[in-house]
């Protein structure tokens, strides 16, 4: 059966290119084999799916034929539909709409993996996982930039052994099981018979050496469960959805391996008065017709708390916002630069006009 690449990426058949990319990144991040809890097989499958769905041409082929093929040549494995089933060309010219090649490819790949995972195989100690946090900000906080603190329960480096997992003063000895090679011989049964093969030594986890005095505090892992105090400084002008990365602030790695990273996803709450468009802020102010006609300045408190008096020049068209330069949002990472503030003026017409008011307006019209 052909693999369902859409299902693998967990997306809809109508997903946009951006959605395909997003889904792949998220899942690849989650299943990356270098991470604890990572899954190499799943990661490969994700890659395979993305190779196809992330490419316009291949995706179109896949949608039409259920698989891809380059330049009309048969798929890997060299099987032709005619050879297998004795059937001629497929309607629409899809002669290679057969998945034999793909399945054979999987078998070859499995064997190939076993060969390549030969004498030098060493099981990697795992790097710490990444930690993801969310920080909720007001627009004002995003304007000024803000510090955030959080306590995260995770693995932290073992204080007793400094993360090494053993007493460094007492050193390590060569592993007696693999004699320091880190791997041991195994037979792997394949459809071609048994193949000699080397796998990582379980006794020393492929390192070839064993500590003389494993740390009892962390049971040799080099890390313990604990709280990590995290301080994040979120830069000025940050936008909703941006992510701040703190390298090495994630979970501690095993026995001195690198720590994971910390990702802080920033959410900026919608504001009651301002809508943000990049570096500009938009707002709406209700004004009295008389005030506008008499060119009285519009008073408004800016996002930074400053009281602004904005002049509305004569001849202004009400459908256009009034632009106040340099009073908008701070530019990302650059507090000295600000976008503009755009003020839309709305005028409410009076519900009732007295006879006198009507007469005065008529007089006014004559004056204007």
Q: Which residues bind Zn ion (CB under 5 A)?
A: 158, 160-161, 175, 177-178, 201, 203-204, 215, 217-218
In angstroms, what is the minimal distance from the CB of 303 to Zn ion? Answer: 50
Burial class (CB in 10 A: 0-12, 13-18, 19+), 358: exposed
201 vs 329, beta carbon nearer Zn ion: 201
In angstroms, what is the minimal distance from the CB of 213 to Zn ion? Answer: 11
190 vs 216, beta carbon nearer Zn ion: 216
180 vs 335, beta carbon nearer Zn ion: 180
CA-to-CA distance for 336 and 95, rounded, in angstroms? Answer: 63
101 vs 208, beta carbon nearer Zn ion: 208
How far out from the chain centre does Cα 111 lie? 34
In angstroms, what is the minimal distance from the CB of 154 to Zn ion? Answer: 16
For 53, phi then psi, to 5°, come to -75, -20
CA-to-CA distance for 257 and 1, rounded, in angstroms? Answer: 41
Written as one string, the DSSP assignment of 185-236 is EEEEEETTEEEEEEEE-TTTTTSSEEESSB-TTTTTSSEEEEEEEEEEEEPT
46 vs 178, beta carbon nearer Zn ion: 178
CA-to-CA distance for 238 and 268, rounded, in angstroms? Answer: 8
Distance set, CA 309 to CA 312, 322, 347 (Å): 10, 12, 18
Spatial CA neighbour of 261 closest among 23, 29, 25 = 29
CA-to-CA distance for 359 and 110, rounded, in angstroms? Answer: 93
In angstroms, what is the minimal distance from the CB of 3 to Zn ion? Answer: 37
165 vs 328, beta carbon nearer Zn ion: 165
Question: Coil, strand, or helix at residue 168?
Answer: helix
144 touches 302 (CB < 8 A): no
CA-to-CA distance for 208 and 228, rounded, in angstroms? Answer: 32
157 vs 330, beta carbon nearer Zn ion: 157
In angstroms, what is the minimal distance from the CB of 215 to Zn ion? Answer: 3
The residue behind tokens 């300045």 is 297
43 vs 166, beta carbon nearer Zn ion: 166
In angstroms, what is the minimal distance from the CB of 134 to Zn ion? Answer: 32
Q: Which helix (H) or strand (E) holds 50?
A: helix 40-53
In angstroms, what is the minimal distance from the CB of 260 to Zn ion? Answer: 19
In angstroms, what is the minimal distance from the CB of 182 to Zn ion? Answer: 6
């Amino acid at each position: 059966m052909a693999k369902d690449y859409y299902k693998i990426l967990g997306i809809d058949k109508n997903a946009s290119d951006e959605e395909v990319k997003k889904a792949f990144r998220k899942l690849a991040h989650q299943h990356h084999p270098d991470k604890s809890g990572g899954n190499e097989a799943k990661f490969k499958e994700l890659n395979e799916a993305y190779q196809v769905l992330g490419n316009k041409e291949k995706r179109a082929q896949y949608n039409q034929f259920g698989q891809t093929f380059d330049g009309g040549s048969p798929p890997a494995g060299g099987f032709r539909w005619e050879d297998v089933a004795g059937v001629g060309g497929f309607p629409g010219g899809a002669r290679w709409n057969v998945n034999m090649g793909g399945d054979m490819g999987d078998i070859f790949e499995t064997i190939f993996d076993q060969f390549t995972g030969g004498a030098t195989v060493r099981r990697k100690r795992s790097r710490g996982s990444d930690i993801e946090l969310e920080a909720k900000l007001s627009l004002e906080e995003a304007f000024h930039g803000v510090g955030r603190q959080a306590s995260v329960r995770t693995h932290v480096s073992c204080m007793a052994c400094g993360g090494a997992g053993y007493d460094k003063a007492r050193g390590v000895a060569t592993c007696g099981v693999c004699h320091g090679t880190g791997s041991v011989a195994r037979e792997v049964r394949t459809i071609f018979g048994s193949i000699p093969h080397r796998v990582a030594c379980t006794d020393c986890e492929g390192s070839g050496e064993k500590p003389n005095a494993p740390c009892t505090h962390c049971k040799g892992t080099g890390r313990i469960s604990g709280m990590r105090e995290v301080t994040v400084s979120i830069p000025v002008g940050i936008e909703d959805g941006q992510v701040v990365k703190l390298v090495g602030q994630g979970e501690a790695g095993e026995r001195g391996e690198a720590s994971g990273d910390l990702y802080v996803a920033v959410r900026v709450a919608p504001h009651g008065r301002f809508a943000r468009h990049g570096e500009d802020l938009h707002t709406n102010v209700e004004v009295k017709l008389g005030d506008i006609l008499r060119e009285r300045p519009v008073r408004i408190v800016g996002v930074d708390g400053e009281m602004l008096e904005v002049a509305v020049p004569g001849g202004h068209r009400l459908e256009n916002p009034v632009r106040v330069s340099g009073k908008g949002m701070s530019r990302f990472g650059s507090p000295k630069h600000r976008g503009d503030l755009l003020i839309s003026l709305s005028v409410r017409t009076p519900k009732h006009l007295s006879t006198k008011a009507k007469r005065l307006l008529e007089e006014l019209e004559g004056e204007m």
